[in-house]
């Protein structure tokens, strides 16, 4: 008769000890959880998504990446004719091409981040339903690819800026130009925050995606892109001051052109707004990603 050794490990215990998983997925402990190690582990996927966004959009076009320059140039020309010549809106003594291009460059980055990330769940539903990866990779790739587009358009702005510097038209840079990278980060964070909130909502309410583009266009008119804050006064200035993007655009223009104003209190307000927006976005995003496949 065979005797059993009570100290010997059972088969289940042996298998449990020998198991060495490469990846262990656990439920989130709370809705603000962000696994940064997991995001870093999938950085190659982020790179692939960014490359896809940049290459595929203009791959079969004649002009290719030149469209990155065509869009702000054409928009600037339209603004010069409509708002500069016809409406006669002041530009604080700054040459109209430079004034409008300064606002358009930064605004386009925010609008691109917002519009692109707002369709995260519906656009990537097929991938999300088959393969695991950190879902935040998808909206982060849109923000990163948008940053590349922004840098290309920013180089156009710098070229025009240097040209007018030699024309002696009264523009001057300030030390606040060192704040510009931070202002760009704020724009990215704000676009990402709005985008993932609306992306989470469009999984159930598809009508919202039709309102986003229209809403972004309306928001631009509530932001000093085509006009300086100095032309506003009273209640209108207070109303526009509720828009945190206004302080970012004004700070950017002041740093390069010397026109407008750079408000540290306004930048602080924009920072607090962005952090709050991102926190809300992450909470809603983490909640929706658990069950969005049932409704998308």
CA distance 135 to 124: 9
pLDDT by residue, tens only, the chain of 296 residues? 444 455 544 445 544 444 566 666 555 555 556 667 777 888 888 888 888 878 777 666 666 677 788 888 999 999 999 998 998 888 888 999 999 999 999 999 999 999 888 877 777 767 776 777 777 888 888 899 889 889 989 999 999 999 988 887 778 878 889 999 999 999 999 999 998 888 878 777 666 777 887 888 889 999 999 998 888 888 888 899 899 999 999 999 999 988 888 889 999 999 999 999 999 988 888 777 666 544 44
Q: CA quadruple 110, 113, 116, 122: dihedral positive or negative?
A: negative
In a domain, 245, yes or no: yes
Residue at 36 is within a domain: no
pLDDT number for residue 259: 82
Q: Which of 111, 121, 176, 177 is nearest to 146 (CA)?
A: 111
Report residue 50 CA to chain centroid gap. 13
| Domain assignment of residue 150, yes or no | yes
Residue 20 belongs to some domain of the structure: no
Cα separation, 223 vs 255, whole angstroms: 17
Distance of CA 35 to the CA centre of its chain: 20
Q: What pLDDT sits at residue 49?
A: 86
The Cα-based distances of 282 to 156, 213, 252 in angstroms read 34, 22, 28
Is 15 contained in some domain?
A: no
Residue 161 in tokens? 């800026």
Query: How many whole angstroms separate alpha carbon 228 and alpha carbon 92?
Result: 7
Residue from 146, 123, 149 nearest 135 by CA: 123
pLDDT of residue 18: 47
Tokens of 165: 């510097």
**Residue 10, in any domain of the structure:** no
Distance, in Å, from the CA atom of 218 to the CA atom of 222, rounded to the nearest integer, reads 7
User: Would you state the structure tokens that stand for residue 269, as one six-digit string?
Assistant: 């307000």
Mind listing the pLDDT tens digit for each residue in 53-66?
Answer: 787 776 666 666 77
Structural domain boundaries, residue 130: 62-294
Cα atoms in the Cβ-side hemisphere of radius 13 Å centred on 149:
34
Give the CA distances from residue 153 to residues 67, 71, 146, in Å, rounded to whole numbers and listed in that order. 10, 9, 11
Q: How many CA atoms lie within 13 A of 13 on its CB side?
A: 5
Is residue 209 in some structural domain? yes
Tens-place pLDDT, residues 198-239: 887 877 766 677 788 788 888 999 999 999 888 888 888 889
For residue 93 the two structure tokens come to 């003594």
Give the chain's domain count: 1
Using alpha carbons, list the distances in angstroms from residue 274 to 145, 185, 268.
20, 10, 10
Q: CB count, 10 Å around CB of 128?
A: 18
Residue 166 belongs to some domain of the structure: yes
Threshold 0.85, pTM exceeds: no
Backbone torsion region of residue 134, taken as left when φ is above 0, otherwise alpha when ψ lies between -120 and 50, otherwise beta: beta
Tokens of 284: 């809603």
Contact 285, 200 (CB under 8 A): yes
């Amino acid at each position: 008769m065979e005797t059993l050794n009570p100290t010997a490990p059972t088969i289940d215990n042996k298998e449990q000890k020998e198991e060495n998983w490469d990846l262990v997925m656990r439920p989130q402990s709370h809705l603000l959880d962000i696994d940064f190690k997991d995001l870093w582990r999938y950085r190659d996927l982020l790179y692939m998504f960014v490359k896809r966004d940049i290459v595929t959009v203009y791959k079969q076009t004649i002009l290719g990446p030149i469209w990155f320059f065509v869009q702000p140039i054409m928009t600037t020309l339209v603004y010069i004719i409509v708002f500069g010549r016809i409406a006669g809106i002041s530009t604080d003594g700054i040459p109209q091409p430079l004034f409008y291009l300064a606002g358009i460059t930064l605004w386009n980055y925010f609008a691109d981040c917002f519009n692109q990330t707002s369709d995260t769940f519906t656009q990537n539903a097929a991938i999300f339903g088959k393969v695991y990866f950190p879902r935040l990779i998808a909206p982060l790739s849109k923000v990163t690819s948008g940053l590349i587009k922004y840098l290309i358009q920013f180089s156009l702005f710098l070229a025009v800026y240097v040209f007018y510097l030699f024309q002696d038209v009264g523009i001057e840079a300030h030390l606040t130009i060192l704040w510009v990278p931070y202002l760009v980060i704020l724009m990215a964070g704000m676009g990402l925050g709005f985008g993932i909130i609306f992306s989470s909502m469009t999984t159930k309410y598809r009508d919202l995606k039709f309102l986003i583009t229209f809403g972004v266009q309306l928001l631009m008119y509530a932001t000093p892109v085509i006009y300086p804050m100095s032309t506003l006064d009273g209640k209108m200035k207070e109303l526009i001051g509720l828009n945190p993007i206004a302080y970012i655009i004004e700070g950017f223009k002041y740093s390069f052109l010397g026109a407008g104003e750079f408000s540290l209190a306004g930048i602080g307000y924009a920072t607090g707004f962005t952090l709050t927006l991102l926190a809300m976005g992450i909470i809603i995003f983490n909640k929706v990603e658990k069950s969005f496949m049932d409704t998308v």
